[in-house]
Amino acid sequence: MGSPQGSLEFSARDQDWAVLIGRMAQGDQSALSTLYDSTARLVYGLVLRIVNEAPSAEEVLLDVFSQVWRQAGQYDGKRGAPLAWIMTIARTRAIDRVRSTRQEQQRRDPLDTVQAVRSESADPEQDSVISERRFIVRQALAELAPEQRQVIELAYYSGMSHSEIAATLGQPLGTVKTRTRLGMMRLREALAPVLGGSQ
Amino acid sequence: MKCEKTPRSMPWERLRRMRPERSSNTFWKEIAAGIFEKHLFTDKARGTVTNLVRLSPGAKCPIHDHPSVEECYVIDGDFRFGDEVFGPGDYQCALVGSVHGNLHTVGGALVLIVGPDRYEAVHKTELELEEQRKSLLALESRGALWEKVEHESDSPGQEMIIEDHQERAALYALGSLSEHEARAFKIHLRDGCAICSKELSGFEAVVGELSFGAVSAEPPAGVIDKLLARIEKDSQTQRPSISESSPTTPNSIPEPILKSTTRSRSYLVWAVAASLLVAILAASFWSKTNSALNEERRRLATIDDEVRALRVNLTDASARARELELIARALESPGSSMIKLVRGSEQSQSKDPAKIYWNKQAGQWIVALNMPPPPEGKVYQLWFITSAPLSAGVLTTDDSGRGVTVVEVPRGIGEIKKAAITIEPQGGSTSPTMPIAASADVGL
C-alpha cells in the first residue's frame, strides 16, 4: 500500500470514473448505472455511518447520485479526483440530513456513533483499490493520539462545529481546536504518499 | 508617552490616575509605538480578550483586519477613525473582515477593547506601510504579494499566526467552523492568503481521504431503479413544455398539415418551435429566479442571526464594562495584587481558569472566572484556605463558564495560604468537596 504502483492504479481508476462522469454530462444513463455499481457501496457505507439510520441513508444515497447526475457537467477534473468529488457530495448531503434531524429529535449520544465501528469482516467492498485505501486511512487514524482522533471523527462524522464538540466533550474550545489542528497535520503527513501531488 | 488630558468623567478618573511608572509597571505592555495594552480578561469560550488600550497623544494604530467582531468603548480622550472622532462614552463595533487603517488619536485616548484573541495583524505604522505598499505594488505583478506579506512579518508572533492559519484551515476543511467564522475565512481566502490556501488544499485532501475510513455497506436493492426513475422524471419536469403543450405524440401534429401547403406547415413548425422556446425559457427563468430568491432568503436569515449576536454582545459589553471598573479599582488600590489560579486537574493546557484581583484597601477579592461551565445542577464555590478551608461563597458564571464575583475578605481572617475553587451542589457546601477544580497559593 502506498506504493507508487498503488497510486498509479488509483489514478487509472479515477480516470475511468472521470470518463463516466463525462458521459453522464452528455445524458448517458448507462454511465450513471456503471458509476453507481462501482461506488454505491462506498457512498452508502459513509452515508450510513453519518446518518446512522437505514431509511434516511437510502434517501441520502438517492440524493447523492441525483446530484452527481445533475452536476456531472460542472465537474472539473482539475479541482479533484472524481471519487473525492462524489464522496464530498455524499458527506455534505449526509451531514445536512443529520443536522436537520438533530433539531427535531434528540439524537443519541454522538460518542456512541463514533465508537460504533462495524466489524471489518462484514465489509462488502468488492473493489480492492478502495479496500486498500481504507486500510491506509484507518491506519493513519489509528496512529493518532486518541483525543486527536476523537475530535476529528466527531467533526467528520457528526458535522458538529468545534464549539459543539467542546460542549459534548466538556473540553475547552482552545483544546479542541488545537487537537484538531495537530491531528489533521499528522494525518496529512501520514497520508502524503496517497494524497500525491498536493503535498 | 503621557496622556495629559483634563479629567472628564469621575469614575474613569480613577483609571487614569492608575498610572505608575511605566518601567516598573508589569501590567501595561507596549504593543506598538505609543500604544499600551493592559490585558484584563480572556474569554476562551468565545475566543475573545478584553484589553484596556492607552494611546499616547499622536499615536497611530497599526493596520489590522478583523477575523471576528471587535468592540471598542472610548473611556477617555479622542479616538479617531479617519475624520470621525469618538469621545468618552462612544461605542464602536468593527465587523468581521473590516480592515482598519488610519485609527489614531490627537490628544491621547483610553479605550476598552473586546475583540478576538488574535489578529491578522500586519504590525506596521502608516509610514512603514506606505513604503511597503510601494514595494508590494512592484511584487504584485509577479503574483507574490501575499507570500511576501506573510513572510515579511517575522515578528515573534509569526509562528502563532501561522498556527492560527493552519487551525482555521483545518477546521474549515472539516466543516466545523461556525457559519460566522467560515464566512470570515472565505473572505480571508478570497483576499489571497497564500498560506491559508496552501494549508486548506492539503487539509481538504485529507478530508477527502477520510471518506474511505467508513466501512462500505451494501445499499438496499432497487435504489438504482429509483434513481433512474427520478432522473427520468426530473428531465421531464425540467422541460414542462414537451409533455404539457403536446399531449399527443409530437409526430402526429404535423401529419395533416403536410397535406396542405408547405408554407403553412413551415409556419406552424416555427410557431410550435417558438412556443416551445418561450416555454423553456420561462421554465429556466422561473427556476433561476426561484433559486435566487431562496439564496436571498438564506442570506437574510444569516444577517438576522448576526444582528441577534451583536445585540447580545452589546449587553455583554456593558456588563463587562462594569466588571472592569471593579477590577480596575482593585488594581489601583495600594498594595493590590493579582492571583492566578491553575487547574487542579490534568488539563494544564488551559491557562488562567481564574484570576483574583485583591483590593486590599476594600478587603475585596474580585474573582474573574473563565472555566468550562459547571456540570448541570452544580456551581463553583471559592474557599479561603487558612488553617482550615472557609467558604468564600458561590461564584456566579454565565453559560460559557465566565463570570466576575466580588468576594468580601473577612477582617481578621488571618493569613490566607491558598485560594481554591471546587465544584459543589447548587447553593454551595459547608466544606469543600474534592477534587479541587482550581487553586493558587496566595501568600502576601
pLDDT in tens, B249-295: 333 333 333 333 344 455 666 666 677 677 766 666 666 666 666 76
Distance CA B143, CA B65 (A): 21
What is d(CA A191, CA B82) in angstroms, rounded to the nearest whole number? 50
Examine residue B435 and say whether the peptide bond preceding it is cis (omega within 30 degrees of 0): yes
Inform me whether the pLDDT recorded for A43 exceeds 90: yes
- Residue environment code for B230-248, b if the CB has 16+ CB neighbours within 10 A, otherwise e: ebeeeeeeeeebeeeeeee
User: What band does B317 get if pLDDT is binned at 50, 70 and 90?
Assistant: low
The pLDDT, as a whole number, for residue A32 is 93
Digit-coded pLDDT (tens) for B359-398: 777 788 888 887 878 888 888 889 888 888 888 888 877 7
Q: Which CATH number fits domain B337-441: 3.90.1640.30, 3.40.50.1010, 2.60.40.200, 3.40.50.720?
A: 2.60.40.200
Contact B178/A at CB under 8 A: yes
Do the beta carbons of residue A159 and residue A113 sit within 8 Å?
A: no
**pLDDT, tens digit (0-9, with 9 covering 90-100), for B158-182:** 556 677 888 889 999 998 888 778 8
Q: Which residues in chain B have their CB less than 8 angstroms from residue A173's CB?
A: 44-45, 47
| Contacts with B345 from chain A: Cβ below 8 Å | none
Q: Residue B212's pLDDT is what? A: 87
Cell 471576528 found at: B68
The fold adopted by the segment(s) A111-199 is Arc Repressor Mutant, subunit A (1.10.10)
Calculate the CA B359 to chain-centre distance: 32
- A184 to chain B, closest Cα gap in Å: 7
Q: How far is A198 from chain B (nearest CA, A)?
A: 6
Q: Quick check: B28 and B22 in contact, CB under 8 A?
A: yes
Please, what is the end-to-end C-alpha distance for chain B in angstroms? Answer: 32
Assess contact for B344 and B34: CB atoms under 8 A: no
Q: Give the model confidence (pLDDT) of B339-366 as tens digits.
A: 888 877 655 445 677 888 887 777 888 8
On whether the CB atoms of residues A50 and A90 are closer than 8 A, the answer is no
Q: Which triple of cell numbers denotes residue B270?
A: 416555427
The pLDDT of residue A65 is above 90: yes
Residue B142: which pLDDT band, with cuts at 50, 70 and 90? very low
Cα dist from B334 to A28, B150, B323, B329, B360, whole Å: 83, 44, 19, 10, 7
**Gap between the Cα atoms of B1 and A193, Å rounded:** 56
Q: Closest Cα of chain B to A151: distance in Å?
A: 10
Contact B220/A49, CB-based, under 8 Å? no
Cα–Cα–Cα angle for B313, B319, B321, rounded to 5 degrees: 100
B42-52 pLDDT, tens digit per residue, is: 777 777 888 88
pLDDT of residue B303: 65
Contacts 24+ apart (CB under 8 A), B124-131: B124/B62, B124/B63, B125/B32, B125/B33, B125/B60, B125/B62, B126/B60, B126/B63, B126/B101, B126/B102, B129/B63, B129/B101
Lowest-pLDDT range of A22-36, A89-103, B61-75, B133-147? B133-147
Res B208: pLDDT: 86
From the CB of residue B269, how many other CB atoms can be counted at a distance below 10 Å?
Answer: 13
Instruction: Identify from A161, A168, A171, A178 which residue to disrupt to test chain B contact, counting B C-beta atoms within 10 A and taking the largest count.
Output: A161
Sequence-ordered list of residues with C-beta below 8 angstroms from that of B94, at least 6 positions apart, any chain = B66, B69, B70, B71, B72, B100, B115
CB contact under 8 A, B44 and A137: no
Q: Calculate what percentage of chain A has a pLDDT beyond 90.
A: 42
Q: What is the mean pLDDT of residues B305-332?
A: 68
Identical fold for domains B10-121 and B337-441, yes or no, is no
Provide the ipTM.
0.83
Mean pLDDT of chain A: 81
Rg over CA atoms, chain A: 18
Chain B neighbors of A80, CB-CB under 8 A? 208
The C-alpha of B242 sits at a distance from chain A's nearest C-alpha, in angstroms, of: 17
Contacts of A136 in chain B (CB under 8 A): 212
User: What distance in Å separates residue A199's CA from the closest CA in chain B?
Assistant: 6
Cβ–Cβ of B215/A156 closer than 8 Å?
Answer: no
Q: What is the pLDDT of residues B200-231, one digit of tens each?
A: 988 988 998 898 888 888 899 888 999 999 88
Nearest 5°: phi and psi at A14? -60, -35
Model confidence pLDDT, tens digit, residues B411-437: 777 778 888 888 888 878 888 887 788
For residue B60, what is the DSSP state?
B
Instruction: Give the H/E segment covering residue A27.
Output: none
B198 closest CA partner among B165, B225, B154, B152? B165
pLDDT at B266: 56
* B273, three cell numbers: 418551435
| pLDDT at residue B22, as a whole number | 44
| Confidence at residue B116, expressed as pLDDT on a 0 to 100 scale | 74
Cα distance between residue B63 and residue B153, in whole Å? 13
Nearest-by-CA chain A residue for B220:
A58
Among B47, B212, B223, the residue with its CB nearest the CB of A134 is B212
Alpha-carbon distance of B257 to B174, in angstroms, equals 63
Residues paired with B380 in a beta bridge: B395, B423
All CATH 1.10.10.10 domain ranges in chain A, comma separated: 111-199
Across all residues in chain B, what is the average pLDDT? 70
**Cβ-Cβ contacts under 8 Å, A43 against chain B:** 219
* Three-state DSSP string of A30-63: HHHHHHHHHHHHHHHHHHHHHHCCHHHHHHHHHH
Q: Which residues of B touch A177 (CB under 8 A)?
A: 167, 171
Give residue B152's pLDDT band: very low, low, confident or very high (50, 70, 90): very low
The architecture of the domain spanning B10-121 is Sandwich (2.60)
CB contact under 8 A, A88 and B211: yes
Q: Provide the pLDDT for residue A140.
A: 92
The answer on pLDDT for B140 being more than 60 is no
pLDDT of res. A21: 93
- The answer to whether the CB of B387 falls within 8 A of the CB of B414 is yes
Measured in degrees and rounded to the nearest 5, phi and psi for residue B141 equal -60, -30
- Would you kindly state where each structural domain of chain B is located, as residue ranges? 10-121, 236-320, 337-441
pLDDT at residue B444 in the model: 53
| Shortest CA gap B270–chain A (Å) | 26
Q: In what order do the strands lie in the sheet with B103-104?
A: B84-86, B79-81, B103-104
Predicted local distance difference test score (pLDDT) of residue B253: 32
Q: Collect all residues of chain A within an 8 Å Cβ-Cβ radius of residue B218.
A: 41, 44, 124
Rounded Cα distance between B387 and B247, Å, is: 96
Mean pLDDT for the stretch of residues B102-109: 85
Q: Residues spanned by CATH 1.10.1740.10 within chain A?
A: 1-107
Residue A60: what residue type? V
| pLDDT of residue B32 exceeding 80 | no
3-state SS, residue B91: strand
Q: Phi first, then psi: give them for residue B85, nearest 5 degrees.
A: -105, 130
Task: Determine, for residues A66 and B227 on separate chains, whether the beta-carbon distance falls below 8 Å.
Answer: yes
Overall CATH class of domain A1-107: mainly alpha
Q: What nine digits make up the cell of A17?
A: 470514473
